Amino acid sequence: MAHCYYHALSSVRKWGGVVEDYLPLHQWFDQSKAIFADPRHRALRHHAEGIFMLETLFGPTIVNADSRVVPVRLVGEQHVREDLGTIPSFADWGRLITPQDWMLRGHRLDEPMPLGTVETGAGGAFSGGHSSSSGRAFVVEI
């Protein structure tokens, strides 16, 4: 489905109530569209663990406008099945990630870094910090 509103309409057909009862749950699944504006966004929440995260955030049930108690997990399962046809595990998504060199580089925490150097998120480094009088600590000015 292209929009959370249509997922919410589907929930109304299934459990009653109004669109507003379900919209926040469906929007939570699709917030990752802010990162990826294509189907890859689904890797972040459209899986079994994502459904359990939804339940952790919104509680085990909601009460809709018709005073019907609806399990949140069922709403999450509905969303993922409507988008993917099945409920994958995160491992199913993870197997599709091709490891890159930057993912495999690491530094032992007990190895000293060159003075004035800070690691970036991509595994690179930049310098420009100032050392303290001891010569061991540094501060990066941003």
Per-residue pLDDT tens for 75-134?
999 999 999 999 999 999 999 999 988 888 877 778 776 676 665 555 554 444 444 444
Domain count along the chain: 1
Phi-psi category of 104—alpha, beta or left, where left has phi over 0 and alpha has psi -120 to 50?
Answer: alpha
Query: Is 125 a domain residue?
Result: no
pLDDT at res. 60: 98
Query: Is 139 a domain residue?
Result: no
Question: How many other C-beta atoms can be found within 10 angstroms of the C-beta atom of residue 96?
Answer: 9
pLDDT at res. 90: 96
pLDDT at res. 132: 42
Query: Is 20 a domain residue?
Result: yes
Q: What is the mean pLDDT of residues 10-35?
A: 97
Give the C-alpha separation, 64 to 69, whole Å. 7
pLDDT at res. 124: 53
71: containing domain: 4-95
Query: Is 33 a domain residue?
Result: yes
Q: What is the mean pLDDT of residues 44-48?
A: 97
Q: Is the pTM of this model over 0.85?
A: no
